[in-house]
Amino acid sequence: MSDQAILVAGGGGFIGGHLVKNLRERGFSRIRCVDIKPFDEWYQVFDDVENIQADLKKADNCHVACDGIGEVYNLAADMGGMGFIENNKALCMLSVLINTHLLQAAREAGVDRYFYASSACVYNADKQKSEDVVPLREEDAYPAMPEDGYGWEKLFSERMCRHFREDFGLTTRVARFHNVYGPHGTWEGGREKAPAAICRKVINAKINGLDEIEIWGDGRQTRSFMYIDDCILGIDKIIHSDITEPLNLGSDELTTILGLAEMVEEIAGVKLKHNHNLSAPKGVNGRNSDNTKITEYLGWAPGIRLRDGMEKTYDWIYDEYVKKYGKASKAG
């Protein structure tokens, strides 16, 4: 298996970097890693991997990337947290070019298997209006009313994978990610997601002696968050399964944003006031993963506790914060 040539599209990103690291540790030696970002902006870089900086929205680059490849993992997309995707809908939609051109290139290159990273943002917004959310089942994506911009691109790209499988025989697998978090991710700058953003805010308050942090929305909105190790294991299980339909890949441990903030404060050993910014983007009111199908089909589902994952994430962001903004003694 380790002789298989693998392409990780978006390999300079958060999930892509962890996937490349995992593939190397499992003995794969022919890994091609492609990302649009300059190398010094990649989250993890491995010298024993073929690293290419290229824009995969361009068809020619996709054909070069897929040449001689056995498995494609398409994690490439222009995306970020809620603050980014609500204000950059056109940029998010343009990622459809990546999946379209990669599918065409993969078909022509005779690729064995093709994995597409979709998102829980494909789900019908009407089913996410209440904080007391019923976990989202795979069939809840239709009738379609996904997150505007980003969610529509993901849902369309899912259909592209389905039709390339049905019409051309390309083996495609799709996972709908639910809020992936962990070390080596974005933690500032506007593209970070809630777990990292809250860690940064709490760390900033702790180091600088502040007594409050800003929370987007009223804090009652509910989410589940999947630790990166569960995500990487799930990707491997799904791409090598016989399941042709999109599958949820997420934790079903539900929390409120306020509960997440209080958890991070407890990890940090501080208690802070919460300044609620009600005009900030907060996304849907409730979203959770229904793991019935993945458990039934694969005999497995993401299970790393949120508290355990957040402790590791907090520790990594703390170190990164201190490296960037100044030395501080870590206590508690």
114 as an active site residue: the answer is no
143 prior amide bond cis, ω within 30: yes
User: Which parts of the chain fold into alpha helices (H)?
Assistant: 14-25, 59-66, 82-85, 89-93, 96-109, 150-168, 194-208, 228-239, 257-268, 292-298, 306-325
User: Which parts of 170-250 fold into alpha helices (H)?
Assistant: 194-208, 228-239
Would you say 167 and 325 are in contact if contact means Cβ atoms under 8 Å apart? Answer: no
Q: Count how many Cα atoms sit within 13 Å of the Cα of residue 195 in the half-sphere of its side chain.
A: 29
Distance CA 185, CA 302 (A): 19
Task: Name the CA dihedral angle for 285, 278, 313, 122, rounded to a multiple of 10 degrees.
Answer: 30
Distance CA 152, CA 147 (A): 6
Question: Maximum distance among all alpha carbons in the chain?
Answer: 60
Kindly name the residue from 150, 227, 314, 318 that is annotated as catalytic: 150
Dig out the tokens for 231 from the structure: 């995500």
Dig out the tokens for 75 from the structure: 């994690």
Question: Which sign, positive or negative, has the C-alpha torsion 191, 86, 61, 10?
Answer: positive
Q: Which residues are catalytic?
A: 150
